[in-house]
Structure 1
Amino acid sequence: MRILVFLIPIVFCCCSASPTNESAVDSNTDTIEQTAPPTKSPNGSANTPDFTGYKIGDPVMGGPADIEVKVNGLPAGDYRLIGFYAEGHFLADSVKANANGVIRIRDKEGYPQGLYYLTLTNNQLMQLVLGEDQKFKIQANLADLNNSVQVEGSKENELYYASMKFEADFSQRHREITSKIQGLQQGSAERNALNKEKTDLEKSRLDYLDNMFSKYPDLLFVKFKMAGQNPIVRNDVPESEKVYYFRKEFWDNVDFSDRRLIRTPVILNKLKRYMTELTAQNQDSVFSSAKMLVDKAVPYPEYFKFFANWIVIKFEPSKTTLMDPESVFVNMVNNYFTKELAFWSDSMEVYGIQRRAYEMGQSLLGLKGPNVISTDQFGNKQELYKKTADYLIVYMYNPTCEHCMEQTPQLVEWYNKNKNRDIDVYAIAIDTNEEEWKNYIKKTKMNFTNVFDATNRSIYAKYYVDVTPEIYVLNKDRTIIGKNLKVNQIDIILDRDRAKNQ
């Protein structure tokens, strides 16, 4: 068996539950979609720390494997068996088709249990569930791949394809009924009859799923299908709280004790939806949702590692539009990237990420802005806290930075228009030298306080800079009320704060 991580440049079809409507609350997540590869092999390393009695990445194996796939119309040639892991794919094996379109997939050790697909000709895919029993036959016609599948000897794949067909039929009927309802008068007999038909149809789907879940509770496909189902929207709470409870119960159908699910697309699909669609995109809401999920996953190390790292990378300050992504990073690191919990990192890696979090953590939104005492171009000490204006703009820049060359003239113009409105600017030059700094002040005609410390001692761990220029807005109490801004956004922050204080 050959395992190799790589990126598959194709998009493949949904394989299961279609949504009953298009809202963010109602769409299910047991679908397959293109994902990026993991940074390490899905099989992990023999040196990965043992957290709960097994090594992270060690798969739940099935097999031995002896699978016969016959695809009528498939040309003889080389094909690939592709597996899922977390947010990536890996090459599980290379296989050959003979002149009759027959592929034999064999491995005496078996394959990690999970969802797979065979890449066929013309970018077509055949989806396979490899559970505990990996001896079966499957046959289909290349011209109508999914609708012609016949399975022999595998309850996993029999249910998989039966469910796919059921969901497709259900979705079509549901759309037709919904479309008819929309054109009818509220309360009319015809509309009421169609509403009842719709309710009965939805109940038939639930009955179908409940029967499958109760009859085959331990099959991988059943666990996958169950994990993708949404919680029922609660009618016993106010409308304003429905999304909260939906989000709170969103992971209830996922069995985190079953490590096989991380080798299916359902976990990543749910994670993306949970953190982006169901969570308000502000730093407090993002961390609140993250904490709710990651705390749930801590006892299950494979999921804990994946969730913690995915969230930190997703909301990396340079990759998000949040006003204060550093807040998400700092809270995630302080809570989960510790020497006790971050078992996937050595002590130096933990120290490095903790130090970065410390540097970010001094200038989070809502905190009191740190004081800075540094030297201006005339050799005089300038103390930030001695500025008396109601609002203070802290401007971090570099004279050679392309975006600074664009933003600095705009800030000078903005300051000249607003300096009589109880507003001041405290500019801090970084990563430069004295000559370059002074020449830049003259060139841009910056006429507000400007400081530079070649040693960085006076500004270290004060106001965090990810990319220059960086703009912070401090109110009269010197609380940080805005950050990661462009010059044209400063007035929005000021107007919002003034309105709040009226």
Structure 2
Amino acid sequence: MKRIFQILLLLSITGFSNQLLAQTSEGFSIKGKIKGIKDTTVFLAHYFGYNQQVIKDTAKVDSEGNFLFKGDKKLPEGLYLVSLPKGKYFDVIIGNQEFAFETDTVNLIRKMKITGSKENEAFFKFQQEMSDRFDEMKALEAESKKGKSATVDAKIKKVQASTTQFQKDWLKANENLFAGKLIKSSQEPEIPTYPKPLQTKADTAAMYQYQFQYYKAHFWDNVDLKDDRMMRTPFLQKKLERYFDDLTVQVSDSIAKEADFVLARATSRDVRRYTIYKISSQYENPKILGTDGAFVHMAEKYYIGEPSLWDTSTVRRMKERVAILKPLLIGKKLPDMYLTDTLGREIDIPRIPADYTVLFIYDPECSHCRESAPKLKKAYQTLKTKNVKVVAASIDRTPLKWKGFIKEFKLEELINGIDIHKNALTGKEEYYTDFKNNFDVYATPVIYVLDKDKKIIAKRLPVEQVEDFIDFTRKQKASKNIR
């Protein structure tokens, strides 16, 4: 489920980009002519990650393919795309705010001619050269497939070597251009040859470990995280996802450590805000159990700890989320939950004798809860033989609905609780449990799995995964005890 604050953050970040427009009145004027389109509309948009674009201008195309993007406020610099009918598009670099281009829909890149922009001249020359080399390589590979030929293989190696050299020469010649930064940021770090001989399986394993460690240590070498223009490219998001999904151990401490490492390099305001946002949003409702501790780290250090980067409402929301989530992290003891059973007796969860306790928080009228209840009853038949207790807590404080749910799904064997407590002096009903703020119940059902000491070891598991999780945890514990 998407958080409201995540939407606000996205609007805040894109809003910051829009603020840059107000900093100058120089404006922009970009003339285009594209053979193959006429009497239509084209769009100019900058990238915001690889899967979002922010439209900055539209232009009408005349009968000869001419159009003009024009505005009286300067565009934020970065990589833009010109979107054409039928899903066609091409990228341009916005640095210089006044230039012209001409191309043909037959081949938008190869036919491109630029006037008045050194950035785009270099950018398209690189693409054109690489396109020619790609076609040459493709033809040679097709020839090679017809029959192994040492001559063809030699030609392939020659093209590969010359392409590598071309890229190096081009990057050196254009290192002061944003085009150079763009191309460099898309390249992987070069891993040096492993310096030791491979004589055993252990040597091979050591080589792979060396390659991984080198690759990870140099992963950000080609990306300038001090340049705000990188936020308006598809490369920053791809790099962040690759680094945190594939190269980072998915436990909170490791994620937090790598986030600190990246953010030590991301010193420009826009890039820093974007990086903080992307990492934080990934781990607030994580796909991998227990990694929400990384979100708490990000929120405390980079939102609450750097309030000047954000508006006051964002910082306030982060403080609220931390206050809710921090007591519920894996390894923490379950906060006090005040429940009474069907006879009005207080349920003391910390004193429930069980190796594991499953806490099932539900709403009797919730459709997902009603789907989960039969599965829970079925799972309990096996769980109870393994010294596992199940506490089913209703967030609805209507006794009739609560008892009706228990009866309908035959949950009498469970420890059924509701937050209704009679005041001995007044005889009135009182409520003590704040399910939303103390147990992060924003949708039902919610499941917590507790160990013998009532520490949280899992949360938000689907009912059908509870038994497998407990079996896995039990085996891990037994394995540690043997060692």
TM-score (norm 2): 0.80
Q: Distance in 1 between matches of 2:432 and 2:66?
A: 68
Q: Of the candidates 438, 443, 457, which is equivalent to residue 403 of structure 2?
A: 438
- Could you say if the C-alpha distance between residues 283 and 71 of structure 1 is closer, same or farther in structure 2, counting changes exceeding 3 Å? same
The alpha-carbon deviation at position 305 of structure 1 amounts to 1.2
Q: Deviations over 1:20-47 (max 9, x none)?
A: xxxxxxxxxxxxxxxx999438773699
Asked if structure 2 preserves the Cα contact closer than 8 Å seen for 1:78 and 1:95, the reply is yes
Asked if structure 1 preserves the Cα contact closer than 8 Å seen for 2:355 and 2:452, the reply is yes
Equivalent residues in 2 for 1:270-309, closer than 5 Å: 270-279=239-248, 286-297=255-266, 299-309=267-277
Asked if structure 2 preserves the Cα contact closer than 8 Å seen for 1:326 and 1:361, the reply is no
Aligned residue for 1:137, secondary structure, equals: strand
The reply to whether residue 214 of structure 1 matches residue 177 of structure 2 is no
Aligned residue for 2:309, secondary structure, equals: coil
Q: Distance in 2 between matches of 1:489 and 1:43?
A: 39
Q: Deviations over 1:332-391 (max 9, x none)?
A: 212222053463120x54233222222122222233444545322211122112112212
* Counterpart residue type for residue 328 of structure 1: A
* Counterpart residue type for residue 370 of structure 2: M
> Which deviates more, 443-452 or 454-463?
454-463
Q: Distance in 2 between matches of 1:47 and 1:181?
A: 52
Q: Deviations over 1:404-451 (max 9, x none)?
A: 112122222222333232221222221442332222222222222222
Q: Of the candidates 77, 80, 87, which is equivalent to residue 43 of structure 2?
A: 80
* Counterpart residue type for residue 157 of structure 1: N
Aligned partner of 1:312 in structure 2 is 280
The alpha-carbon deviation at position 114 of structure 1 amounts to 2.1
Equivalent residues in 2 for 1:491-502, closer than 5 Å: 491-502=467-478
> Which deviates more, 285-294 or 247-256?
285-294
Q: Distance in 2 between matches of 1:287 and 1:449?
A: 38
Aligned partner of 1:113 in structure 2 is 77
The alpha-carbon deviation at position 490 of structure 1 amounts to 1.8
Taking every aligned residue pair, what percent have the same amino acid on both sides? Answer: 25
* Counterpart residue type for residue 11 of structure 2: K
Q: Distance in 2 between matches of 1:363 and 1:43?
A: 32
Q: Distance in 1 between matches of 2:397 and 2:153?
A: 69
The reply to whether residue 404 of structure 1 matches residue 369 of structure 2 is yes
The reply to whether residue 98 of structure 1 matches residue 65 of structure 2 is no
Q: Distance in 2 between matches of 1:76 and 1:444?
A: 64
The reply to whether residue 345 of structure 1 matches residue 311 of structure 2 is yes
Aligned residue for 1:323, secondary structure, equals: coil
The reply to whether residue 384 of structure 1 matches residue 384 of structure 2 is no
The reply to whether residue 123 of structure 1 matches residue 123 of structure 2 is no
- Could you say if the C-alpha distance between residues 254 and 424 of structure 1 is closer, same or farther in structure 2, counting changes exceeding 3 Å? same
The reply to whether residue 164 of structure 1 matches residue 127 of structure 2 is yes
- Could you say if the C-alpha distance between residues 63 and 279 of structure 1 is closer, same or farther in structure 2, counting changes exceeding 3 Å? farther
Q: Distance in 2 between matches of 1:288 and 1:177?
A: 46
Q: Deviations over 1:278-313 (max 9, x none)?
A: 44556555444434323432x322112112222333
Q: Distance in 1 between matches of 2:193 and 2:364?
A: 58
- Could you say if the C-alpha distance between residues 425 and 111 of structure 1 is closer, same or farther in structure 2, counting changes exceeding 3 Å? closer
Equivalent residues in 2 for 1:142-157, closer than 5 Å: 142-157=105-120
Aligned partner of 1:452 in structure 2 is 418
Aligned partner of 1:424 in structure 2 is 389
Aligned residue for 1:322, secondary structure, equals: coil
Equivalent residues in 2 for 1:55-70, closer than 5 Å: 57=20, 65-70=28-33
Q: Any gaps of 5 or more consecutive residues in structure 2?
A: 1-6, 195-205, 421-430, 479-483
- Could you say if the C-alpha distance between residues 448 and 210 of structure 1 is closer, same or farther in structure 2, counting changes exceeding 3 Å? same
Asked if structure 1 preserves the Cα contact closer than 8 Å seen for 2:59 and 2:67, the reply is yes
> Which deviates more, 453-462 or 439-448?
453-462
> Which deviates more, 460-469 or 160-169?
460-469
Asked if structure 2 preserves the Cα contact closer than 8 Å seen for 1:63 and 1:135, the reply is no
Asked if structure 2 preserves the Cα contact closer than 8 Å seen for 1:374 and 1:458, the reply is no
> Which deviates more, 353-362 or 166-175?
166-175
- Could you say if the C-alpha distance between residues 435 and 305 of structure 1 is closer, same or farther in structure 2, counting changes exceeding 3 Å? same
Q: Distance in 2 between matches of 1:100 and 1:273?
A: 44
* Counterpart residue type for residue 500 of structure 1: Q
Q: Deviations over 1:65-104 (max 9, x none)?
A: 4443222333244433223345632332232333332234
Q: Distance in 2 between matches of 1:61 and 1:277?
A: 41
Q: Distance in 1 between matches of 2:250 and 2:140?
A: 35
The reply to whether residue 256 of structure 1 matches residue 225 of structure 2 is yes
Q: Distance in 1 between matches of 2:355 and 2:52?
A: 51
Asked if structure 2 preserves the Cα contact closer than 8 Å seen for 1:59 and 1:260, the reply is no
Aligned partner of 1:25 in structure 2 is none
Q: Distance in 1 between matches of 2:153 and 2:318?
A: 55
Aligned partner of 1:490 in structure 2 is 466
TM-score (norm 1): 0.77
Aligned partner of 1:8 in structure 2 is none
Q: Distance in 2 between matches of 1:103 and 1:366?
A: 61
Asked if structure 1 preserves the Cα contact closer than 8 Å seen for 2:362 and 2:395, the reply is yes
Q: Distance in 2 between matches of 1:444 and 1:128?
A: 61
Aligned residue for 1:93, secondary structure, equals: strand
Asked if structure 1 preserves the Cα contact closer than 8 Å seen for 2:39 and 2:60, the reply is yes
* Counterpart residue type for residue 376 of structure 1: D
Q: Distance in 2 between matches of 1:402 and 1:499?
A: 34
Asked if structure 1 preserves the Cα contact closer than 8 Å seen for 2:435 and 2:441, the reply is no
* Counterpart residue type for residue 159 of structure 1: A
Q: Count residues in correspondence.
A: 449
